[in-house]
Chains A and B, each alone.
Chain A
Amino acid sequence: MSTLVDDLLNQTRTAEQAKYTSKDFQSDQDVRWCPGCGDYSILAQTQRVMPDLGIPKHKVVFVSGIGCSSRFPYYMDTYGFHSIHGRATAIASGIKMARPDLSVWVVTGDGDGMSIGGNHLIHLLRRNLNIKVLLFNNQIYGLTKGQYSPTSELGKVTKSTPYGSIDYPFNPASLALGASSTFVARTMDRDPKHLQAILKRAADHRGTAFVEVYQNCNVFNDGAFFQFTEKESKDDNVVFLEDGKPLVFGKERDKGIRLNGFSPEVVSLKDGKWSVNDLLVHNEKDTTLSFILADMTYKPSLPRPVGIFLAINRPTYEEEMTRQISFAKEKRGEGDMSKLLNSGETWVIN
């Protein structure tokens, strides 16, 4: 039996697919982030990427929790759900299970996604629903005005930690890999081209795509990522991961990463001891390698890895759910409520 949703989808199936521009994805609401906030760039890049995805905008849903980043859905002219703290991933899971035909995006932050919503996040990742998770990491609580977050560096002095924070930070990429995510990437608000490329790859991935975006909070944590994002320091402090390519970095492209046992180390390509052929070559499909690369993150002697750590295929949860339903229908026939009510041991009283 068809449901009301089936009927609706049948009616709208022929709806002509519009040619979009980024403007089509801008809602009529005034954007209310602080001037200079990194969120503006992420919003702009997302709106720029959306027209290229080939998805009608009425099929797109943005879901968020609470925090600065979570205002995001209000500014996208798609369907949107600004929910409660930490729960966006769980709400999005419900949406995707009910409607595998929708393109579902979660926008969250380091506090929303990894503190109050940590549990839902890891379970979404292991289930591998086809949902895109954009985690804006600014290493601070913005909307509650400046407390430290689960990604703040050790010793962080904030209003709630006047003597410095004493809890070790999460590394979002390692957390996601540990939760068996099938797609894990890192990008930066101040690198629009890279951000767009990663968003496209995430959109194309069949499964949960976890994208950590370094995002500058210019009010409460200004410059947290400047050594990775600013022109003068970027090249020497960031290594971009590219599939099938050796890990080379530096202003002069004169440094590389090689594996010493299981440990990555920086080597010079200038002194004649090592050449490009000695370097670690990235492979997005290698789960073991992904852990090693993600683990470089907080090591001061190593450049910060940015790009796609892992992109592998595994059946999605909703596909498996649909498969079981089809299997049951095939095996037992479409369920009939009257038959069910009268099934098993019954008796008649005259």
Chain B
Amino acid sequence: MAEKTTQKLDEVTIRFAGDSGDGMQLTGTQFTNTTAILGNDLSTLPDYPAEIRAPQGTLFGVSGFQIHFGSTEINTPGDACDVLVAMNAAALKVNLRSLVDGGAIIVNTEGFNDRNLKLAGYQSNPLKDSSLSKYQVFEVDISKLTALALQDLNLSSKIADRSKNFFALGMMYWMYNRPVEPTVKWIQSKFSSKPEIMEANTRVLKAGWSYGETTEIFKVRYQVAAAKLPPGRYRNITGNQAAAWGLMAAAKKAKLELFLGSYPITPASDILHELSMYKHFGVKTFQAEDEIAGITSALGASFAGALGVTTTSGPGVALKTEALGLAVMVELPIVVCNIQRGGPSTGLPTKTEQADLLQALYGRNGEAPIPVIASSTPADCFDVAFEACRIALKYMTPVMFLSDGYLGNGSEPWLIPDFNKLPDISPKFRTEKDGFLPYLRDEATLSRPWAIPGTPGLEHRIGGLEKQHLTGNVNYEPQNHEFMVKLRTEKIERIANEIPPAEVEGDKKGDVLVVGWGSTYGAIKTAVERHRQKGNSVAHLHLKYLNPLPKNVGEILYNFKHVLVPEMNLGQLIKVLRAKYLVPAIGLNKVQGLPFMAVEIEKKIDEILKG
């Protein structure tokens, strides 16, 4: 047995990379779940191609999964990785730029044969020339070792080779002192109907672990202690799962049936998948014929007294636009979840971006304001989805919930909330006949009554034509139209009366305020904290409510010399802030389909501070 030493680390970032058929997302997810159970804080970034099985060995077929975990607070999936597991040459080529200098590369040597090298565009084998000299390279013939572990099982070589990701996973479990048991348990339930595969995967996983223990190649293994998180019960959760549960929790609180009308679209489909599993909660999911039927069926369900929801991504929102306008006019509660991706058009289906903000705020014909709220971390998707439902029901309005691919697919440990302590949602159906008018309004919220079919005596008609104030009858009078346009606008603006004021992280006054929204939260927080540790006067404001904005936003902005707005678009929130508050805000924009690295924001703050 080789002599091994154990080294303590505060945090580490690992990236698993291979062919899109190599099971890298599964490997990453398993590593994540085990890491979460050990009590580390963590953040993940799945990075995969739009093609399901791109041609093997090609650069565009590379699928990656990055996890950043530690004993300290972790806010981003890591600017760069410390360890790269590359299953083939293409995976190395695509991901090498994410590796820190001096970082470790663990390669599957079988993935560097002539064919693979040629497909990856290598003139010479990087394992043999000196191009990787600034890294520590560990060469392991994973394919061969996998085959060896399975030789007596009589599996075809193709099937046996599919287990090789478990070898890589086993090695990494050994290296970072993680138990194999949670994954063994998962394999047993996942492949219970395929005992041969179950046996193969379990064996290979353990073989990988044992290989780490016995091989001469690895001399050091690492210990990453549990993080000091607030006490309580935790689970790991992805943004899309959190969003699904938030919607369910809101429906339960409101004593309404949850109805989801949805058309499959990356990266939002997982919400549809998740909700489809909860029929025993009475959740009704409807895979519609298109995006338009997704939202219109939800609107129909809402008219009939359900909590109508539709889930999609940007191209889907484009198709739902007309129905959103109808929902504004008929003033019925629905929630539209936009899990944003790179655009325009089909764009980058599997990559992240936040370029749909202006679409959410203004993308409808006529004056059609709707509340827009955004989540900032995967677990936050639960709260924001819940809040979107609450607002929709209280104000009888469509609400747009913005998440993105990075949040939807990414995961983090989540302090499980007490369902009984979630905010109150108590919608009421109108049942009294006396004095009923379809567009009579609540004095405080300006919302109209929800009178659902099946209520005797409240038969009435609604529709997309302009409504007469109070009666809801079709009306084309100039004064009435202007009055109604203003009334619908005021209804949305009044939401600002009850939402919490925006809170600055850091000093309330100073040199630079970094304003963000959505998934840039972790990167901005990390960048701002680094500056604050250096003693710089930098603060962070992260906006959850984008329409209406909290009332104190202007006041906060005016207290800083400079306002920096990093966004994964060409400057959308910044337009709103400049127009509304007349501040000379500075933009930092990235549209590469990838989240910000903290260092990019850190540098920009540096520039501003230096003038």
Q: Are B37 and A58 in contact (CB under 8 A)?
A: no
From the candidates B234, B248, B282, B464, name the one contacting A3 in the complex (CB within 8 A).
B282
Greatest chain B CB density within 10 A among A7, A87, A338, A344 is at A87
Contact between A321 and B37 (Cβ–Cβ < 8 Å)?
no
In the assembled complex, which residues on chain B have CB atoms less than 8 Å from the CB atom of A77? 459
* Total residues of chain B contacting the partner, CB 8 A: 80
Contact between B289 and A81, CB atoms less than 8 A apart? no
A95 interface residue (CB < 8 Å to B) = yes
A59 smallest CB distance to B (angstroms): 6
**Is A269 an interface residue, CB under 8 A from the partner?**
no
Q: Are B229 and A8 closer than 8 Å at their CB atoms?
A: no
Q: Does B460 contact A (CB under 8 A)?
A: yes
In angstroms, how far is the closest chain B Cβ from the Cβ of A129?
Answer: 10
Does residue A342 face the partner (Cβ distance < 8 Å to B)? yes
**Which of these, B261, B418, B462, contacts A80 with CB under 8 Å?**
B462
Q: Which residue of B lies closest to A342 (CB)?
A: B416
B240 beta carbon closer than 8 Å to chain A? no
Chain B residues with CB under 8 Å of A87's CB are 292-293, 296, 323
CB distance from A206 to the nearest CB of B (A): 19
Binary interface encoding of chain A residues 1-32 relative to chain B, with 1 for a CB under 8 A from any of its CBs, else 0 = 11111011101100100000000000101000
CA distance A82 to B192 in the complex (A): 52
Enumerate chain B residues within 8 angstroms of A80, measured Cβ to Cβ. Answer: 459-463
Known contacts: A58-B454, A345-B33. The answer to whether A123 contacts B289 by CB under 8 A is yes
A134 to chain B, nearest CB (A): 17
Q: Which residues of A contact B254 (CB under 8 A)?
A: 4
**Cβ–Cβ < 8 Å partners of B293 in chain A:** 87, 90, 93, 119-120, 123
Cβ of B248: which chain A residues have Cβ within 8 Å of it? 337, 340
Contact with B along A159-191 (1 / 0, CB 8 A): 000000000000000000000000000000000
- Looking at the assembled complex, report how far the CB atom of A143 sits from the nearest CB atom of chain B, in whole angstroms: 12
Residue interface bits B354-378, CB-to-A below 8 A is 1, else 0 = 0000000000000000000000000
A97, CB-defined interface residue at 8 Å: yes
Q: Select from chain A the residue with minimum beta-carbon distance to B33.
A: A345
A345 & B456 in contact (Cβ 8 Å cutoff): no
**What are the interface flags for B252-274 relative to A under an 8 Å C-beta threshold, 1 for contact and 0 otherwise?**
10111101010000000000000
With A12-B456, A346-B234, A349-B232 in contact, do A97 and B259 touch (Cβ < 8 Å)? yes
- Would A94 and B454 be within 8 Å (CB), given that A119-B289, A338-B419, A338-B420 are in contact? no
Q: How far is the CA of A83 from the CA of B326 in the complex (A)?
A: 7
In contact, B431 and A8 (Cβ under 8 angstroms): yes
Q: Which of B230, B297, B416, B454 interacts with A90 by CB under 8 Å?
A: B297
> Which residues from A are CB-within-8-Å of B302?
94
Name the contact of A73 in the complex, choosing from B283, B456, B461 (C-beta under 8 A): B461
A98 with B456: CB separation less than 8 A: no
Q: Is there an interface contact between B37 and A347, defined as CB atoms closer than 8 Å?
A: yes
Q: Across the interface, do A350 and B305 meet the contact criterion of CB distance under 8 Å?
A: no
Q: Report Cα–Cα, A78/B427, bound state, in Å.
A: 23
In the complex, what's the smallest C-beta–C-beta distance from B463 to chain A, in angstroms?
3
| Proximity bits, A320-341, B CB within 8 Å = 1, else 0 | 0100110111011111011011
Give the docked Cα–Cα distance between A92 and B304 (Å).
10
Contact B284 A325 (CB under 8 A): yes
Q: Is the CB of A93 within 8 A of B279?
A: no
Contacts of A4 in B (CB 8 A): 254-256, 305, 427-429
Interfacial chain B residues near A328, Cβ < 8 Å: 279-280
Which residues of the partner chain A approach B283 to less than 8 Å between Cβ atoms?
335
Looking at the assembled complex, report how far the CB atom of A60 sits from the nearest CB atom of chain B, in whole angstroms. 8
Residues of A near B187 (CB, < 8 A) are none
Cβ-based interface call for A99 (8 A): yes
Q: How far is the CA of A332 from the CA of B279 in the complex (A)?
A: 9
Q: Cβ of B306 < 8 Å from any Cβ of A?
A: yes
Against B, the Cβ 8 Å flags (1 = close, 0 = not) of A67-88 are 0000001101111111110010
Question: Could you count the A-B residue pairs with CB atoms below 8 Å apart for me: how many are there?
Answer: 240
CB-CB < 8 A to A332: which residues of B?
280
Q: Judge whether A102 is part of the interface by a CB distance below 8 angstroms.
A: yes
Given A27-B461, A337-B419, A340-B245, A98 and B305 touching (CB < 8 A)?
A: yes
Which residue of B has the minimal Cβ distance to A89?
Answer: B293
CB-CB under 8 A from B465, the residues of chain A are 82
Instruction: Give min CB distance, B385 to chain A, whole Å.
Output: 13
In the assembled complex, the CB of A80 is this many whole angstroms from the nearest CB of chain B, namely 4
Expressed in whole angstroms, the minimum distance between the Cβ of B401 and any Cβ of chain A is 19
Which of A123, A337, A340 has the most B CB atoms < 10 Å from its CB? A337
Given known pairs A58-B459, A94-B300, A338-B419, the reply for A345 and B280 (CB within 8 Å) is: no
- B87 interfacial by beta-carbon distance below 8 Å: no
A258 interface residue per 8 A CB criterion = no
Would you call B280 and A333 a contact (CB within 8 A)?
A: yes
With both beta carbons as reference points, the residue of chain B lying nearest to A101 in the complex is identified as B454
> Given A97-B286, A99-B453, A349-B39, are A91 and B296 neighbors across the interface (CB < 8 Å)?
yes
Q: Identify the interface centre among B37, B283, B296, B302: most chain A CB within 10 Å of its CB.
A: B296
Contact (A90, B292) CB under 8 Å given A15-B456, A341-B417, A349-B226? yes
Q: Which of these, B281, B297, B322, B330, contacts A93 with CB under 8 Å?
A: B297
Q: Is A56 an interface residue (CB 8 A)?
A: yes
Q: In whole angstroms, what is the CA distance A66 to B464 when docked?
A: 9
Interface centre among A7, A321, A341 (most CB of B within 10 A): A341
Flag whether B439 is at the interface (Cβ < 8 A). Answer: no
Structural contact, B305 and A12, CB atoms closer than 8 A: no
**Contact (Cβ within 8 A) A348 B454:** no
How far is the CB of B411 from the nearest CB of chain A, in Å?
12
Taken together as a complex, chains A and B put the C-alpha atoms of A243 and B553 apart, in Å, by: 72
A-side contacts of B397, CB under 8 Å: none
A263 to chain B, nearest CB (A): 34
Q: Which of A193-221 contact B (CB under 8 A)?
A: none
**Does the CB pair A98–B301 fall under 8 Å?**
yes
B50 within 8 A of A: no
How many Å from the CB of A104 to the closest CB on chain B? Answer: 9
Question: In the bound complex, do residue B452 and residue A8 qualify as a contact, i.e. CB atoms below 8 Å apart?
Answer: yes
The answer to whether residues A8 and B305 also contact, given A56-B456, A341-B419, A342-B233 and a CB cut-off of 8 A, is yes
Q: Given A63-B300, A102-B304, A325-B284, A82–B462 Cβ distance below 8 Å?
A: yes
Q: Which residues of A contact B261 (CB under 8 A)?
A: 94
Is B235's CB within 8 Å of the partner chain A? Answer: yes
Q: A58–B433 Cα gap in the complex (Å)?
A: 12
User: How far is A213 from B286 in the complex, measured between Cα atoms in Å?
Assistant: 30
B-chain residues with CB within 8 Å of residue A102 when the two chains form the complex: 304, 453-454
Closest A residue by C-beta to B450: A4
- Contacts A95-B303, A348-B231 supplied; 20 other A-B pairs, CB < 8 Å: A9-B454, A56-B456, A78-B459, A81-B303, A81-B330, A83-B296, A90-B293, A94-B296, A94-B304, A98-B300, A324-B279, A325-B279, A325-B284, A332-B280, A335-B278, A335-B283, A337-B248, A346-B416, A348-B232, A349-B39
User: Which B residues have a C-beta under 8 Å from some C-beta of A?
Assistant: 33, 36-39, 182, 226, 229-236, 245, 248-249, 252, 254-257, 259, 261, 278-284, 286, 288-290, 292-293, 296-306, 308, 322-323, 325-326, 330, 416-420, 427-429, 431, 452-465, 473-474
Q: List 24 A-B contacts (CB under 8 A).
A: A5-B429, A58-B456, A58-B457, A60-B453, A80-B461, A80-B462, A81-B300, A83-B296, A83-B464, A84-B322, A87-B292, A92-B300, A95-B303, A97-B286, A98-B257, A98-B301, A99-B304, A120-B292, A123-B289, A325-B280, A327-B279, A345-B33, A345-B36, A345-B182
